[in-house]
Structures are given as C-alpha cells and as structure tokens.
Structure 1
Amino acid sequence: MKKTIALLASTSLISVGTAAMAADLEVTHWWTSGGEAAAVSEFARMFNENTEHTWVDGAIAGGGGTARPIMVGRITGGDPMGATQFNHGRQAEELVEAGLMLDLTELAEAEGWSDFVNPSSLLDSCTLDGRIYCVPINIHSWQWLWLSHKAYEDAGIPVPTNWDEFVAAAPALEEAGKIPLAMGQQPWQSNGAFNVMAIALAGTDAWKAVHLDHDAEVAAGPDYARVFEAAAQARAFSARSNVQDWNQATNMLISGQAGGQIMGDWAQGEFQVAGQVAGEDYSCLPGLGVNEIISTGGDAFYFPKVNNPEIEAAQLELASLMISKEAQVAFNLKKGSLPVRGDIDLTAANDCMAKGLEILATGAILPDTNQTFSPDTQGQLEDLMVEFWNDPSYSAEDAQRQYADIISRAD
C-alpha cells in the first residue's frame, strides 16, 4: 500500500487514509517540452507514490495559448478535469466568480500557506473575496537574456555581459552565419520579450506607470520610444529565426546556431535536459544585464468542482503535495523556476537559479503582466506584438501609438 500524506490531521475537512478512497485524477497542463515534462513528472511520481490516488496526465501541446481555451471550455461545458494549470494572475478569475472552482481556504489555513509563500502576491493572485482558490507552485521570471557560449566562441568574440554589448556583437554573429536572436512565432513570446525590454530599458518606474496605473501618456512617451526602437532592432536580429515553439528557439542556442534568446527561466529546463552547464555552456543575464530584477509570474493549479467526494479528496491531497517542501524542491530544480516557499534549502541550484534566488531575496521584484492586465488586454497586446514583430515595415513609432491606445483602454 502506498504511503498516504497526512493532510489536515486535526481538521474535519478530510480524513486522508481512512474515509478517502482511491481515485484517478486527471491533471491538465501545457508542459510538453523536454524540461517541462521532466519537471511535471516529479509531481506525478510523488502523487502516485505517496497517496492512494493515480495521476492521469492530460498534457496539451502548443503552450498556454492553445491549452487555456480547451481547459476553460471543458470546465464551463460540464466536463471538468481534476486539476488544471493556469498562470499566476487573472486567467481563471471568471471561472472562480462563476463558482466553478474548489475553495482551498481551509486547507491553506490549516497548513499555514500565508506563513511561507513568498512573495505574498502569489497567494493574493489565488485569492478572491478573501477565499483561496488555487495553489501557487513556482515563480517564473521572464527577465532573462540567455546566451550560447558556442555561438560566440565560433564567432571569435566574447560573450556579452549586457544588452548594449549584445547589440554590438550582432554583426559579428551574422558574419559567422549565426542568428543573433532566436525567437519563436507564438504570440506570447514576442509580447514577453517586449516586456523584458521595457523593464530593462524604460525602467521600473515607467513600467509600473503603464502596467499598474495604465498610464497611456507614459506608454506614448520617450521612455517607451526607446523600448520600441530596441524591439525594432531585436526584430531584425531574429529575422532568420524560423521556428514556432519557444523550446525550438532555445535549442538553437544549445546547438550554437543562435547567440541569444529573451525567454523566461523555464529555458533552464531545456539546457539541463541537454546536459549543458550554466556558466560553462551558456550564460544568463537577468534584466538584460541592465536592470537586475525578476518578475514573479509562474504557475498555479486550480481544482474544478466535481460532484464526487473521492475526487475532491484527491484534489486536496494533490494541492497539499504540490506546495510541500519535498515537491517544491524536486519540481523547481528540474523546471528552472524558483520555489514559492521561502523556507526551503536550494543548495543544489545552478548559477542562473542562484542569481534568481539572490534577486528575490533583495526584494527586487515586479508582478507579471498576467497579474496586471486582464486576459482581454493581454490578447490585444499580443496581437499588436505579433504584427509588429513579423512586419519589418511596421515602424516603431506606429506600433507605439497603437500600444498607447491599448493601454488607455486597459483593464
């Protein structure tokens, strides 16, 4: 018999190991790349080994943009899964408001989540009207420029240490037959890269004005003009990057075909699967080497309501397991993300993860755009960035005017 996790031993919410019966729990997510699959398999392994229940994997290929509508459609259509991934922020807000998600407040209070979840904004993103509806599982930051040592060695030039050096090195990479910047074609990639440049080049005050205050004047002003000019440069650097998925772009760095990639810290999982070592085979520049800061995006799991006590018991056990110390270490070391718990030891972290942990400890953090804009506003911005990134005739000035207009109507 499997070992059963003792959840809420002194509460009446659930009596694990006695009243709870074994259940198959379908878990949907969009983690299908090599590093992602290795990480999520840690959750599955621990759930299968430590509870009476069985993890039924429901991976959906194509990333969050493809997976989320499927997940939402199933939940609203009366065919809910047992657990499902969303990003930190407002993606599941309407589902919670419609009463379709399991309330985890009693579990969270019994286990003291508010005492160890760091930063507290992650738990706030799970909270509506004082009730908790999701379990945060990691911190993913977009604020990274990844660099291939092989690409720069082949070109006979040093690995850059900041954005200006990266820009200056681009011609030498192109002469060596390399692509300066690897970029996939998914909308969230171009939008995410732009936001990284905004924080690094416009500065945090300007970014906060746009993202927190929805200040269209700042979005139309000189600080953001610099960002759009840099994005136009980046567009030219990535012109020959003819791949679709983000992990395909990361593989261009691993193979030495491309010099850099602006991508979140989940890229570390791909380097790890490929056997590459941080500081030897690749480097990472938080904040493009200009403004060392991390955004506190990432992933959370929600548990759709089901009219089945066995499934509900399994849902609560999985929620508890995902935020446990053991699972936080096992999952995040393979995912490349930072743990949501501030009370665990990650001495096994590589150089890049260690940089992220150091920045987190200083408090140099910003919310993720999923926490500052509604899904509708996010979609409008992604549409704009796809058009701008793929059309060399779309000027930085015209794109900035359209951007400011979207910000003026943002919610």
Structure 2
Amino acid sequence: MRYRILVAAFAAATTCGYAGVASATDLEVTHWWTSGGEAAAVKELAKAFDATGNKWVDGAIAGSGGTARPIMISRITGGDPMGATQFNHGRQAEELVQAGLMRDFTDLAAKEKWTEIVRPKSLLDSCTIDGKIYCVPVNIHSWQWLWLSNKAFETAGVPVPKNWDEFVAAAPKLEEKGIIPLALGGQAWQSSGAFDVMLAALGGKDLFLKVYQDKDAEVAAGPEMAKIFKAADDARKMAKNSNVQDWNQATNLVITDKAGGQIMGDWAQGEFQIAGKVAGKDYTCLPGLGVTEMIATGGDAFYFPVQKDAAKTAAQEVLATTLLDPKTQVAFNLKKGSLPVRGDVDLNAANDCMKKGLDILAKGNVIPWTDQLLSQDSQKQKEDLMSEFFSNPNLSVEDAQKRFAEIIASAD
C-alpha cells in the first residue's frame, strides 16, 4: 500500500530551527535490527555515537522492515518523529521527503565530501531526490547468497554444492536423512527476495534489468522468465517442510544443520558469527547462487526527520558524521555481515564470505536492487504473489508467471 501523506495536515512538523547548538542530547533511533547478529552490530553504532557526548536511545522494532516501516512512517506523519530512522536504500522514504518531513543533508554531504568517499555512487544516488541528499548510507547488503551447512551435506553423503543445480540435485539425499533442503521463512519479503535472487543469478543481469528497471512486461511473460519460475518451483518444493516464520529462524536451521541451505542476504553472516561458526569450515557461501557472481548494492541508510528541537537537530548532524566515520564503518559492518559504503577502509579482519563480496564489489559486478527500481506499491504486489506461490502448491507456474507479468506491466 502506498503511504499517502497529506502535507498540510503535518505542516507543523516541518518547522524547526537549524541553528547548531553545542549541548549534547538524547536521540531516538528506530530500526528493525533485532536478531542476535543485528543487535551486536547496532551496539557498535550506539557506542560510537555515545562517544560524542550524545546518547543513542535505541528504538528497535521487532519484526521485519515490512512490520517496522508503517510504524515509523505513522510516527513521522503523525507529528511524533524520532531523531533518525533506518530505511533500505531506494524509494521507501520518497513520499516523506516529498512532503518535507525529512532533513536535507546536502550541505553536510558537500562539507564532508560524501560523493568522494561513498562507493558505489548508486548508494548516494538513492539518497538523492531533486538534486538534494536526504540520507546517510551505512552498508551494502546483498541478497544474492546461498548459505550452506557443510555438515548437512556430509551427513547426506554428498559433496557441498558449488552451484544452484548441484544444490537442487542434492535435495533428495538431504531429505532421506530428514534434512530440509531449503530453509525459508514464512514472511512475504523472504519468498519475494529469494525469487529475485534466482532471477538475477540464473537469468543474468540483462534479464533482471529488463524486468525490474525497464518494466518490460513482454519479457516478464516470456520464455526466459519461464525458466526462472521453474527454478522457483524447485525451490518451493525443497522448502515445503521449512515451518518457520522469521528469517533468522530459517538461518538457524542451517546453523544447526537441520537444513541444507538458505537463500538470504549477507546479514545472515551475523547469525553464523554469533553462533561461533567459521566461514569456509562450518558453512559455505555461494554469491550469485554459485552461477553469476554479482551482488546488488542494496542495504540500509538512515534518514533524519525534521525536528523542532535545535539540540536534536544538531545531534542529527553528529550522528550522520559518526555513521560514515571509518572506524564506525569497520566495526559495524564486521558485526553486521555487510560491506562498508566507504571505499577507503581497512577490512583485513573480514571473513571468507565477506572477502568474496569485497572482491565482487571491486570488480564492479553490481546491480541495483528492487527497492531502488520499484515503488513500494509494486514491491508489495510482487511480495503478495510470491508469498502465495511459495505457500500454495496449487498455484501453477504458468498462472504465477502470468500474474507476475501483469504486475510488471503496471509497475512504477
């Protein structure tokens, strides 16, 4: 559902003074990072901000972004804005910006030369509306990963797969040992994200962009996409016994060797790290499903709602600067499992999987993600379809593809 914002109703929320003040203050920061690995990463941001003399007041909202965003948006539009709030890179805060409810950080960005340090450039582009910068990117999160339990495949008596086809082929052996081939949570964003990963990895960059960037409904209805829906059908069959809801519960099935693998973003690394698992030894990560080594430059950014309190306004700028500080970038992203947005930081401590991501990023094998290419309306329609497809085996591949092409035809 598109969040309709009546600017006149909230005009009072847009009036504030911008004069800087020296006094420190509490600043509430809302986000949906509540799993073990995510919480550990957030503590690094809070520690860095508290070191400035201000205080990070944690406003974690349990659940996924789909649960948290409506709450965040309701508070902002209702005149009760937090000091800063997480959104994904892309168009999620577009209408809030257009309504004048988010701070313009163009001057700070110019002063601190964000255009020179933030890489890739598309991250800052996603923060830019009508030539003005409204958010601070904090990480690069890529969805395009297949996480595998090495022990699960050892138990099944088959080699750890090197690509998607080998993973699908190994599924019967896993099932014989009572191991779920594919862990998948029940929330719509997870099935939709897994489908998009298959489209990018198995279909390739050109097909992905024709569908989501060009909104080519004919291609969406064509034979190339039919192959992706066939792969999605394989995936839903492998995931049929994955009876969990949250993404980190699905990740835990892989961590505990109850599932062979999971298609999930690199934030899953934080969960493996908290569990004491070692990349390359206990688990294997396949970027691009082992087929197309490519990552999307999605991830997270912080937006700063307009404040009436001058001290909070000043603290917002301090937080923005802190989020992009090199030390903060390293500490946060090592815990989060994501890649830093600065191209000039030292990540010698990166694990095997993070190094794979950094190598792909260095080669420039990147694409924008659906949050950047589709409106929230279109995203929601796609999520609803994929949720139904993965949960309802009676929805045929052909009917699902037809409905998908209709969504793309009207996408914005």
Q: Same fold (TM over 0.5)?
A: yes
> How far apart in 1 are the matches of 2:27 and 2:241?
43
Identity of aligned residues (%): 68
For the 8 Å contact 2:150–2:282, the answer to whether it is kept is yes
1:28 to 15, 27, 30: 30
* Residues 207-259 of structure 1: CA deviation (Å, up to 9, x unaligned): 11001100001101111100101101110100000000000000000100000
* Residues 349-368 of structure 1: CA deviation (Å, up to 9, x unaligned): 00000000000011100001
**Number of aligned residue pairs:** 395
TM-score by length of 1: 0.95
* Residues 310-344 of structure 1: CA deviation (Å, up to 9, x unaligned): 00011110010001101100000000000000111
2:352 corresponds to which residue?
A: 351
1:165 corresponds to which residue?
A: 166
> How far apart in 2 are the matches of 1:332 and 1:265?
11
Q: Which amino acid aligns with 2:367?
A: L
Aligned-CA RMSD value:
0.8
1:256 corresponds to which residue?
A: 257
For the 8 Å contact 2:139–2:333, the answer to whether it is kept is yes
1:136 corresponds to which residue?
A: 137
Q: Following TM superposition, by how much is the alpha carbon of 1:14 offset from its aligned partner in structure 2, in angstroms?
A: 6.7
- What SS is found at the alignment partner of 2:57? strand
For 1:330-369, list aligned pairs within 5 A.
330-369=331-370
Q: Which amino acid aligns with 1:361?
A: A
* Residues 148-169 of structure 1: CA deviation (Å, up to 9, x unaligned): 0111111121100000100110
* Residues 101-128 of structure 1: CA deviation (Å, up to 9, x unaligned): 0111111110000001111010000011
> How far apart in 2 are the matches of 1:91 and 1:207?
20
1:5 corresponds to which residue?
A: none
- What SS is found at the alignment partner of 1:101? coil
> How far apart in 2 are the matches of 1:137 and 1:260?
28
For the 8 Å contact 2:19–2:310, the answer to whether it is kept is no
> How far apart in 2 are the matches of 1:81 and 1:193?
32
> How far apart in 2 are the matches of 1:161 and 1:139?
24
1:40 corresponds to which residue?
A: 42
Q: Which runs of 5+ in 2 are unaligned?
A: 1-17
> How far apart in 2 are the matches of 1:22 and 1:202?
51
For 1:25-174, list aligned pairs within 5 A.
25-49=27-51, 51-174=52-175
> How far apart in 2 are the matches of 1:386 and 1:325?
39
Q: Which runs of 5+ in 1 are unaligned?
A: 1-12
For the 8 Å contact 2:37–2:335, the answer to whether it is kept is yes
* Residues 65-105 of structure 1: CA deviation (Å, up to 9, x unaligned): 00000000000000000000000000000000000001111
2:269 corresponds to which residue?
A: 268
* Residues 172-209 of structure 1: CA deviation (Å, up to 9, x unaligned): 00001000000001111000000000011122111110
> How far apart in 2 are the matches of 1:110 and 1:266?
31
- What SS is found at the alignment partner of 1:121? helix
> How far apart in 2 are the matches of 1:22 and 1:389?
49
* Residues 259-315 of structure 1: CA deviation (Å, up to 9, x unaligned): 000000000000000000000000000110001100010000000001111000111
Q: Which consecutive aligned stretches of 4+ in structure 1 deviate over 6 angstroms post-superposition?
A: none
- What SS is found at the alignment partner of 1:26? strand
